[in-house]
Structure 1
């Protein structure tokens, strides 16, 4: 596993505008035919369809008839792209990663392509304005963060979810900057630009909507579909990749790649799209929408990820269990029956949150999320004592963290004043004596009480101080 992850590669992306309405309807029709095809009964694609992961397939009858036979005949290479426009993937990207995991789990080889080049151009799909340009340094830093997301999730999947008795496909992480850095502009356009038709490019829905907007569309964004198409061609030629996976908003770019490859080499390639994950309000889950739940711990803790899925509305839980976990569908149905029999236990919600957290952050991350949940919502002193400094700071992300020297005779009010948790003078004293201060989830009303180990100071040297309902302070005592 480590060896396959160490191979450095790239990213072709999920770039591309929505396709013409006529072609989109064809793809949707194919989905239902594809689902019912007896030739792929119990196959990977039928399984993905039943889980709701497979949305559309392209091109037409070729994808319906040829692609299932291709997948059954031998291990294939599948790719999906991720533009590093931030230093972490988010929940909106997770379903694409899970799609790759399903293919790898079935023995196929997967390419996760980081868009070190295309991130500098910007995908216009689903955007109302052109994205602010990223510096080379920012793209490089983001690429490192996204690579870490991907490698960690793939490692967790292999460790916790893959049946070791079955063959596992390889993972190669690539950066598409590596195959663009030696091209000149004139050379690239001279060799590849002649294969693209302006009428087709202009017909893309995302292009049309941007052209009609007040700001219009820049030439830079307009060329995005050319680079996305070339990515697919490069991966096809170098890695034998014949299948691209991407979100439904990438169907137009996917088709551009298919057409380009057909013109240049005549190779038959295929595309599969996955649904875009939305909130219960119908909003796309992503950083553009301002509601991103990130997959790297320094941006969203395991506890926060766990709580995000635990708090999903009842109507979403069954669908999310099928999309975001690797539980057999029969087990999902049993969970939902148990949930319906006793909704108050929220068994399906808890299983969903646990499965996703373990995939993203591993077993240790799940245990951390459960410790934080118990400490926060069950007022468990034992859970607080088991927590590390990092977990406390993650749990109370906005809380000030103070390292203080514990002096003999330090009292409750001394501790409160040293971290500026209460005002000086009689008002602060009254706040403590009237019960507005909590130490380690226990109310205290004795300002002059000397801090007692195990009560006010946990065995891990920490004190969690709360004033009122929401004002937390974390104290790390030194020289205990």
Structure 2
């Protein structure tokens, strides 16, 4: 899978000037921008990553497992991070986990994942690959003109993981991993405790194959940064270490918080159901309604994470409280829906909402 397979969509034009435009004009780099907007929980080497960004275009990636026919709002945080760094002139790779999905990520799971077969994974990949094109520029030059921002890439790790030979992989990659160290990881430790559901050998190897993705992309694409959710910290650090041990390379990892609402509900759930990015599964109207029904305490944070609105605009919108926050919620819904489904679909959803609810 590559950029040429992406649907002929284009990222929705954000407000001009948007938050990234203003940050770049003020001399702010992508790491400072990401931290200011609330995307950063941990970085492996902050000073080194900042220097890498300053030295020229950095290639970075995040993996997305095709566990369903669509991505959901929980995945959108990573897509927004890729989109923001591309707007600073760097090169993002959206990595579909067609290979790692055959293994199954045990992170955050108390029991073994139900493994999908190759046909189901292929069907899911076909559904999700077009969803990146609303946010990332696969042609290049859409966000930064001089020099033009690099084109994003869409890859599938099945293209290299399924070609691996077992004994050479154990010898060349497995020797860099300590079983003792892996057993101290929270994911493995929890599963191995009494009542933890156990851990099978396939799952135990997940960290190796995810780390190998980083090594492979470092070698083939010059990739220097992996991003992801905080539940992936151990896997990402393993990839950083593998690049160093195997090739003497310099690599970085950055993770964002796993988001919950002010009431403790997992972000991306609406009355217990996932909010999908595919309009066939969650209509633009329902998508808009999810955002417009944001809890008061979450509005400012979500405006920073899921829109490119400038900080002063967000501050002005969220200075009020109570019913006066309705406009801020409407702006959040309008901007987030436009980014995902386009301005026309957003306007239609807003008009329908106002017709039904008067706001």
Q: Give the TM-score normalised by the residue count of structure 1.
A: 0.66
| Residue of structure 1 in register with 2:326 after alignment | 346
Q: Determine the C-alpha separation between the residues in 2 that align with 1:163 and 1:172.
A: 17
Distance in 2 between the 1:139 and 1:283 partners? 28
Cα shift at 1:328: 1.2
| SS of structure 2 residue aligned to 1:242 | strand
Partner of residue 45, structure 1: 31
Paired position in structure 2 for 1:171: 152
Q: CA deviation at 1:194?
A: 1.4
C-alpha distance in 2 between matches for 1:336 and 1:198: 49
Contact 2:42 2:255 in 1 (8 A): yes
Q: Write the mapping of 1:135-214 to structure 2, written as runs, cut at 5 A.
A: 135-154=117-136, 162=143, 167-214=148-195
- Counterpart position of 1:383: none
Decide whether the 8 Å contact of 1:5 with 1:151 is kept in 2.
no
Q: Do structure 1's residue 294 and structure 2's residue 280 form an aligned pair?
A: no
1:4-403 superposed matches below 5 A: 5-6=3-4, 42-58=28-44, 63-154=45-136, 162=143, 167-214=148-195, 215-285=197-267, 290-337=272-319, 339-340=320-321, 343-344=323-324, 346-377=326-357
Could you list the structure 1 runs, at least 4 aligned residues long, displaced by more than 6 angstroms after superposition.
Answer: none
CA distance in 1, matches of 2:86, 2:50: 16
The 1:322–1:93 alpha-carbon spacing in structure 2 relative to 1, beyond 3 Å, is same
User: Which structure 2 segments of 5+ residues have no match?
Assistant: 7-25
Q: Deviations over 1:386-417 (max 9, x none)?
A: xxxxxxxxxxxxxxxxxxxxxxxxxxxxxxxx
SS at match of 1:132: coil
Quick one: distance in 2 between partners of 1:301 and 1:98? 20
Paired residue secondary structure (1:154): coil
Q: How far apart are the structure 2 equivalents of 1:290 and 1:81? A: 25
Does structure 2 conserve the Cα–Cα contact (< 8 Å) formed by 1:105 and 1:167? no
Instruction: Supply the RMSD in Å over aligned alpha carbons.
Output: 2.6
How far the C-alpha of 1:118 sits from its partner, in A, is 0.6
Pair 372,164 (structure 1): closer, same or farther in 2 beyond 3 Å: farther
Contact 2:334–2:347, Cα closer than 8 Å, also in 1: no
**Is the 1:153–1:361 contact (alpha carbons within 8 Å) kept by the matching residues of 2?**
no
Structure 1 position 135, deviation (Å): 1.3
Determine which structure has more spread, i.e. the larger CA radius of gyration. 1
Q: Which runs of 5+ in 1 are unaligned?
A: 9-39, 380-480
Give the TM-score of the pair, scaled to structure 2: 0.87
TM superposition shift of 1:146: 1.4
